Every structure is written in C-alpha cells, then in structure tokens.
A and B are shown apart, each in its own frame.
Chain A
Amino acid sequence: MSGTGYQGKKCIPHLTSERLLIKGGRVVNDDQSCYADVYVEDGLIKQVGENLIVPGGVKVIEACGRMVIPGGIDVNTCFQKSYLGVSPVDDFYQGTKAALAGGTTMILDHVTPQPGDSLLEAFEKWQEAADRKSCCDYSLHVDIPQWHEGVKEELELLVQEKGINSFQVYMAYKDLFQMTDTELYEAFLFLKDVGAVVMVHAENGDLIAQEQSKILGMGITGPEGHPLSRPEELESEAVFRAITLGNRVNCPVYITKVMSKSAADTVAQARKKGCVVFGEPITASLATDGSHYWSKNWAKAAAYVTSPPLSPDPTTPDHLHTMLACGDLQVVGSAHCAFSTSQKAIGKDNFTLIPEGTNGVEERMGFVWDKAVAMGKMDENQFVAVTSTNAAKIFNLYPRKGRIAVGSDADIVIWEPEKIKTITAKLQFLFQAMDYNIFEGLECRGGPFLVVSQGKVVFEEGKLQVQQGTGRFIHRKPFPDYAYQRIKTRSMMTGRQGVNRGMYDGPVYDVPPTPKYITPAPSAKTSPTTHQPPPIRNLHQSNFSLSGAQADDNVPRRSGHRIVAPPGGRSNITSLG
C-alpha cells in the first residue's frame, strides 16, 4: 500500500485504545471481493488477510460471511444551509447521526455563503459548527454565490491552505446565485487552473423565473407549481451548457443532483463523446418521483420540494439506477437538507418560497442496494463504487477513504443484504429531527449490520453510540487524478498555432475609423480585450473625402468604393489557390 504517510499526523488520542478484528467477512471493494479478516488499530486498517497475528485482548467481531464494505461517503449534504434565517432541522449532529445509522461514515457538506459574504468566513463558520457537532469524518464543498475578482483570492487560499478542492456554481436562482455564461467560463477557467472540481447546480434560472411568474399568474400557488415551473428540460438544457463550457475550458464538470432521465442522458452522451463529466443522482431521485407534488396533503407535497425537482415521470428512479449500474452516473449523494413542516409552510401561499430540500442521508445506501443490487442491475462491487469509492476518487480522498486496504481509515460497514425495514418518520425520529420522510412507507431491503467509524463501533444491533464532535475535517488536495489526469494530457495536446502566411498585401476596403452606431459590425467584436485594429488608411485613399458628409451612410453606396481588381493586377496572395 503506497502512501500511508498521509495518515501520521492525524492520530486522534481518544481512539488509540480501539483495536478491532473483524473475522470471517467477505471484504468487498469496488474491484473485487474476497474472504479475509480485517484488523483495525488506531483508527486505521493495519492488516487484511487470513490467519492474522493480532495482539491479545482485541475486540473480535464475527461477520459470519457477511459483506464487509468501505463506509459510505455522502457527497452532498446541507446540514447548515439556512434559508431566510431558518436553519434546517438536521444540523451536523442530527445529520451525521442519521448518516452513520445508514452506513455512511463520511459526509461532504456544502458551505453556502450568501452573495457578498466572504467565502473564507463562511467556510470557517461551517468548519467550526461541524467540528463541534459532527460524529463522523467530514469535508466541505464551498459554493460560490457570485463571481468577481475578489473571490479568486479566497478560492486560491481555500485550495492551497484550507484543503478544499471542490466548489459549486449555480446556473439557477436568478438575481441571487445565478452566474452568466461569461462568469461561468471565467470561473471554470480559474478553478481548472487551481485543480479544483467544478460542481454545477444545473437548471436554467432565466427560464425558471419566467415560468414561475407564469404559473403564479395562472393561480397555481401550491407545491405542484414547483415542478411545473421547473420542467426537466430546463435541467437537461443547463447540463448540456455546463458540459459545453467544461469542454471548452477543458475542465472537469460535476453535475450535482441529477434528477431526471433527460439530464442523466445528457451526461451519458457527453461521456461517450469523451467529456470529463460526473453525475450525481441523489437518494430522492433514485427512490421516489415527483407525482407526490400533486398530493392533496399540502405538508406532504411540500416535503418533496427540492431543486431540480423530482421528475413526475415514475420511471425515472429505475432509469437512473440503470445508469448508475453501467457507470454512466458515478456517485450517489443525498442532498439531505431537512426542513420541518412549519418551516416548509413559509411558502404555504407561494410555492417559490417553500424552503428546498429533502431527506435521504440515512436511506441512501439502503435504496441503492434495494433498487439496484437486489434487482440484479448492479453487483456488490459497483455498489461500493457508487456509494463510496468513486466519491473518494473524485474528491481526492482515495485510498484513504473508499477502500478496505492496509493503511486506509477504519471506516467499515458490515452490510446485511437481507435486512428489511419499512421507512417511516416515526421510526426515524430518533436519528432525524424532521417530521416528514419522503420515503414514508417504502420498504427497503439491505442495511448496515454494524458500522465502524474511525476505528470505533458506532452502530450495532440497531443502536447508535456516537459522540458529538468526534468527526474530523479531512483535507483534500487539488488535482485529483480521477478527474485531472486526462485534463492534463489534453491541455498539453491542444497547443494551437496560427497559420503562417505572408502579409496580406492586397487592397483593403476603407471602413469608418470608429464603427458608427448606425452600422455596427455584425460579428462579435465585443470582448473587452479585442483590439480594434486601427484601420490602415494608406491604400487607395487619396480620393476619399467623405470626412464629414456621412448623412447618407445608411443608404447603400457601393459604386465608388468597390475595388474589383487591385491596381497592378492581382498579387500572389490574393490569387485563387
């Protein structure tokens, strides 16, 4: 195992006493499965194999042939994303507790500064809250609410010193977070240079704004207005645009929250064309659909409100699972952002005000198992890949996270494929604070039997034993190989060169020195840096005396000025060739 050195400094004293031996399990990584024992010490995996020689007095866990998998990584949570001053009911404590109960041992939360806020300050605020409350290891994505020069410095600092390598930009939320294509281009260019992963919230905000006012104008104010004003085409349009931008800039693009078939198809097509793009469906889009927005029960309908919305097409979850199984989509997040019914009720008279977010951090792994592995779409190795390994690779945590190997962190789950439970908010109330569960009543096969986080058993026999503040912030380095290896090679290849030609020495039509407003040039002569070349007036100009009298400029006058053949015949350069 190479690269175990990165772990040295991070030994947490209160864990040192934990020594664990998991016996008789089937170790399942993303590439292979094999029967082996796993020995854990100091929060690290020290040995993997048969007949291990371990010290005496080690706690032994009998896996009895069950699967032993790397702990899940939830790449998308919002445990502290406040909305209009209202904080989600699941904070880092509640949220990570729920994560662990579902077999997820690491979360990546979104730092969501408001426009105008300092990214650095927001990051520190989030880190402080998470350090205090989180029960499992975590890292942070930082959302960029606005693009301007000042942001660059902060981004550089976050990447170089704070261990952040992923940033989210928004194509939706007009007049708030939304960026123009030009800003996106610049942001992509900058983030690529610092080696970060660009995450995109892909929806066309301009059109959404139009649709929202149209829908409100029709008198539709309930939650069904939410999916009506955000049809899935607007999602796939933005995905397409984001990929185009990424391809232009030669920058990896990560689409957060793939909610619809057409968005997923767009991602898959782009990958077939060779674009470096990753797609993240979430628990909600994998397990349920948008038909519930039309529920007669307002509170139930509102619980499903998230953006992009769940697709009303009931075949969506199945389609997304198929694409996860074949590798067209790579990672699964939860976008867990739980608001209570009374918080959702802020938008009771206007769907555009309903706080957005659904639950899913606890149910994530179970549903992927139930709907993909148990159905025969996906094998257990791919299950590990999409719930853990790929996330670790994309965000440069691999092989510390996302793999059971010597030297990796001891985040391990013993998985019980046959465990069946019915999801209900009442049962979950212990772990999640929210009063509505969007998966209410669904049966889910597969769940964690035992969860080891940082080398400690935190979940056993249905009981959680966690401690606030034990979660560590995990630094992530820029330029993850999984995303950037190809990018680097491509940027070396795309050196473009102009054509070497002799100077054009033929006649040049005279144009007004400053393009007049009346007849602007119909090509994009617009970029601020475009130098307007001074029109060279040396040729055939002696008789040109229109200095002031240009009143007839909008009248076509083509007789006097057209040069049919240059004097002295055609020169070499202009002859047909």
Chain B
Amino acid sequence: MSYQGKKNIPKITSDRLLIKGGRVVNDDQSFYADIYMEDGLIKQIGDNLIVPGGVKTIEANGKMVIPGGIDIHTHFQMPYRGTTTVDDFFLGSKAALAGGTTMIVDHVIPDPGSSLVEAFDRWRDWADEKACCDYTLHVDITHWSDSVKQEVETLIKEKGVNSFQVYMAYKDLYQMTNSELYEIFTFLGERGAIVQVHAENGEIIAEEQARMLEMGITGPEGHVLSRPEELEAEAVFRAVTIASQTNCPLYVTKVMSKSAADIISQARKKGNVVFGEPITASLGTDGTHYWSKNWAKAASFVTSPPLSPDPTTPDYLNTLLSSGDLNVTGSAHCTFSVAQKAIGKDDFTQIPEGVNGVEERMSLIWDKAVVTGKMDENMFVAVTSTNAAKILNLYPRKGRIAVGSDSDLVIWDTDGVRTITAKTHNSAAEYNIFEGMELRGAPLVVICQGKIVLEEGNLHATSGSGRFIPCSPYPDFAYKRVKARKQVTKILRAVPRGMYDGPVSDFLPMSRGGGSSARTSPTKQTPIRNLHHSGFSLAGSPTQRGVVCPRVSIHVVVLPPELIFLV
C-alpha cells in the first residue's frame, strides 16, 4: 500500500515474524489464519503461508489475535504550573504497551496566547525522544484569533494534525463563548478536521465552586459537587446543537456520566454526526471515592468532568459502548503524584486534574463488557482500536489486521486474570484508581512496529522508537455524511417575491454595528421621538452598501390603502 512507502524505518527491517494458529479478530469478522510480518508491515494472511526460512514463529494456539489498541486520549508529560505529570512519554507509552495499546494520541495544550505550532513542535520533540510506540497528536485550541486560524491551517496542511480540542469549561482560561465555538466549528468543518470538545458548562461551574467554598467544603468531594453531571449533559447538548448548525462532525471527549451519554445517543438517533469517548475511569469506577476519608485517595480520582457518584454509571456506559452509541475509548491518562495533587489540599479547585488508565483500558473493557456478554470480540476491537483509527483517518493502516497494515498486533488472553495495584503498575503514580480490581483478559504477546515488546510478562520497550503518524483531514468515517449534507444545504434559497411596495411605518433608526444581526442597540434609545421626523432629510440613497441600514421612511400611514395581500 502506497501510503506506507516512505515510512520504512531502517532499524526494524530485520524483524520477520510469523504468528501461527491464531484467530484473527477484526471489527467485522473473526477467522483462523496465520500472519506473516516483515519490515513492520503485515505481508501475508492466510493458511499455509510460504515464508522465508529462519523466521521467528509465535504459536498462538488458537488465541485471539487483535489489532493493537489505540488510546485516543492521553496527557503524558503534560506541563502544569511549573511541574509535569509523573508519566512522561516513556513511562506512559510503556504502560500503554503493557496493556495491549500500541498507539497513543496525546493532547498538545498550548498556553492561551502562545503559538500552537510551537507548542506542537515542543510536544513532538518530547515524544520523539521518549515514546516507545507510535503516536500522533491532537492540538487544543485554547484561544481564538486570526493568527490561531492560520496556525490551525498550517497544522492541518503541513503538520499532520486533523483533530483539535476546544473547551466549554475553565472559565477565563480556556473557555470559548458560543460565538467563538460557532466560528471554530465552521472553520474546522470547512477544513475537514475533527472538533473535539471538553463539554462542561464553565460559567455555572465557576458559580458552583464559589458556592461550595463558601459553604466550607474544600476537600475533593467539592470537585464533584461543583461539577454535577447535568452541567456535562448541558454542554454536550449545546455542542451538538452548534455542530449540527455548522454541519461539522463532533467528538465529545471524556463522556463521564449517563446523562451526557444519553444526549449523545439521542443526537445520533436524530442523525447528528457525533462521537462519544468514555474513558477507562468512567467505564471502570465511579465517583463515590471522592468522599473517601483518605484525602490522597479521594484526590487521585479528581478529573474533569468528574466521575459520576452514581455507581451504575460504568455499567451503563459499557452498554452504550456495546450498542454503538458511544464509539471509542480513551484513557485520559494524566497522572500526578500525591504531592502534586496536594497543591489543592486546602482548596479542591487547585487539585491538578487527571487519573490513570492507559494500561488498564483494554483489560477493563474486556472484563466489564465482553466477559459480561454485553459486547462481542469484534465490537471490542472496534471500540478499542478500529473506530479510533477511522476517526483519525489512519484506517486501515492502523486498527485492522490486513495485508499492508502496520504490524501492531496483540495476542489476547481471554482468561488471564490480573489484579490491579499501584505496586505493580507501570505508571509512576503512587495511586491507582482501580486499585484491587480483578480484571479478566490481558495481552499475552504485544507486537509493536513488527517487534515483540511484550512476551511472557517481560516488557522490552525502547525509548524513542515511537514514530509520529501524520493524520490527514476529511476522514471518511466522519466526513462522508457531512459532505453530502453540504450539497443538500446549498439549495437554501430566498423566496422570489416582488418588491414590497406598500406603506412602511415610521420608526426610530437603529444604530447597528457592522452588519451583525441581532437587534442590537448598545446605546439606550428613548422611544419618545415618535413624531414625524420632519427635520430629518433623507439624503438620497443610503451610502453604505453591504451594511444593513434601515431606511427611515417619512410617511406615517394610518390606514393602509386597500390591502391586496390577502391570499
């Protein structure tokens, strides 16, 4: 496949692998076949393959062979108030590989006012140096201006970024107004990018936070009390509305609550192009822990939107994931140490936000959804890998076991059981929010870029071996429908009517700024001068073209003459 040509990385060319006797599971079907890989690519799939001699052979013994997972949402090495998250790109991507994830998508968060491209380059430097698996980047739009527009354009055209996140929360920092959101959605919709939203109503959160602090609630429970799930649902609803108005595909990051998920599935039923991403945390645990007596434990669950205190949430989200109402899973892995979390020990609004989950993601979904019979193995592949690849426009290079695809594969052990604990996890965090959970289903062998990185419990990750994978705009998965709709809406036309030539009432002129449309009269107008503007002479035709400027008619008509308009 031609898209692969330029990307041959010399250092892995020697790897030749044959997986024998596995059951290949893609998102659409499962079948028994052998897989032969060379140069980091899948070269042959089938029975009785003819392969060169001396190839390393792995006996799968009938176990599932699935495309490596894609974690579509991580925050490795994220700077935060002069510190960074404890898992950098090395530790983070190592943890990913240990869990069967062979590609991660990290968020670039430029500081408001700074350059997006510079931030992107900085993130790339960090990741190129340390990542042990392939990666790509989302860029967050933290402010909006004409120069940002140009940078976004550059990122799409030259840098291989096709997804951008905007924030509806974090008032006075990242938060965008509805008008800005409308402009951004329009802009990105015209350029084939995916709009991701952090959906929470930041204005109400700010009010609620102030109220909580006033009530003397300063611990982590204040976090969830000030961010109730309806604020998440509200923002999702609003984002869906804006996306539908601007005909732009929408991606909701971190679906944390039942009501937010419901809004997404309702919108999908109405035909909106919207994708929802629950994360490991919301699929695996709930927000009751915010009330833990152990401050450090409670604080380790702090993330936004918060985990819902409703203990039935994980089950519900797993169900929606199984039915296809939610599409992809991320981890939003963003780990802080206890000492870092303690920045907010006296004020919950200061607690750095983020939970772990990159390593646990695939096992957790297997355990909660596949083992319980909600989901089949093909859907499992879809939500952990294939759908993400489609949204990122990397399919079928990633997210599928097919000839020509990257050889990112996992041999999945459906019966392997492991207990999650901070003592053995690969993250540097002292806490694991899934502590003590027994999960069924684990990777047995992980192959990344054609190399075995996990075998018999041993992880061989090489810092810096991860490649940046550029994403191109207009992913079919999101944009096919959008393009078709654009064609349809072009038909919008004015009704051809004769000029209205009847009488026009006398009225006060409205001072309107530059063609903007609402009935705006910023200056207060006293409606007293309702007399005949006898002194007011209309100097010919209105001077400004284009600017909508109501003309003042001089004639007050009391009784309209013989109205001919009745139909």
Contacts and interface: CB of A to CB of B under 8 A. Distances in A.
Interface of A: 82-87, 114-117, 172-176, 178, 180-182, 185-186, 204-213, 216, 218-222, 224-225, 228-229, 231, 233-234, 236-237, 240-241, 244-245, 247-248, 294-301, 340-343, 345-350, 352-353, 425, 435-436, 440, 496-502, 504, 506-512, 515-533, 535, 550, 553-554, 556-558, 561-566, 573-577
B502 A248 contact: no
B296 A574 contact: yes
A176 B82 contact: no
Contacts of A528: 210
14 contacts: A181-B204, A206-B179, A213-B517, A221-B494, A222-B495, A299-B502, A352-B518, A497-B217, A498-B221, A504-B345, A506-B342, A509-B342, A535-B343, A564-B430
A245 B204 contact: yes
Contact of A574 (B82, B114, B338, B519): B338
Contact of B518 (A82, A209, A225, A509): A209
B505 A526 contact: no
B146 interface: no
Interface string B535-567: 000000000000010110000010010010111
Contact of A345 (B337, B347, B495, B502): B502
Interface stretch (B12-20, B156-164, B236-244, B463-471): B236-244
Nearest to B294: A577
B88 A576 contact: no
Nearest to A233: B241
A270 to B, nearest CB: 10
Contact of B504 (A224, A245, A346, A504): A346
Contact of B304 (A295, A523, A553, A566): A523
Contacts of A527: 171, 206-207, 209-210
B530 interface: yes
Interface residues of B, number: 128
Interface in B41-91: 77, 79-84, 86, 88
B296 A208 contact: no
B520 interface: yes
Contact of B548 (A216, A520, A574): A216
B35 interface: no
Contacts of A557: 84
Interface string B475-505: 0000000000000000011111111101111
Contact of A512 (B81, B86, B202, B206): B81
Contacts of A218: 492, 494
Most buried by A among B81, B214, B304: B81
Contact of A522 (B353, B430, B498, B516): B353
Interface stretch (B225-233, B378-386, B406-414, B439-447): B225-233
Given A231-B245, A530-B210, 16 more contacts: A212-B517, A240-B237, A244-B231, A245-B204, A294-B495, A300-B566, A340-B505, A345-B500, A436-B563, A496-B215, A508-B343, A520-B173, A532-B347, A550-B82, A558-B88, A563-B339
Interface stretch (B279-287, B307-315, B320-328, B521-529): B521-529
A504 B342 contact: yes
Nearest to B507: A84
Closest 7 CB pairs of A and B: A212-B517, A206-B178, A181-B203, A85-B508, A299-B565, A175-B520, A527-B210
A340 B219 contact: no
Contacts of A553: 82
B456 interface: no
B518 A176 contact: yes
B6 interface: no
Contacts of A229: 517
Contact of A519 (B82, B207, B245, B507): B82
B503 A342 contact: yes
A523 B170 contact: yes
Interface stretch (B21-29, B92-100, B105-113): B105-113
Most buried by B among A212, A236, A550: A212
B510 interface: yes
B227 to A, nearest CB: 9
Contacts of B297: 576-577
A186 B201 contact: no
Contacts of B212: 496
B298 interface: yes
A341 B203 contact: no
A84 B518 contact: no
Contacts of A500: 293
B560 A180 contact: no
B218 interface: yes
Nearest to A307: B519
B516 A298 contact: no
Contacts of A496: 212, 215, 217, 225
Nearest to A550: B82
Contacts of B206: 182, 524, 526-527
A295 B114 CA distance: 51
Contacts of A561: 83
Contacts of B349: 523-525, 530
B30 interface: no
A509 B204 contact: no
B203 A211 contact: no
A298 B560 contact: no
B502 to A, nearest CB: 6
A424 to B, nearest CB: 9
B548 A352 contact: yes
A507 B237 CA distance: 41
A15 B469 CA distance: 86
A531 B218 CA distance: 11
Contacts of A301: 495
Contacts of A436: 563, 565
Interface string B164-182: 0000011111100111001
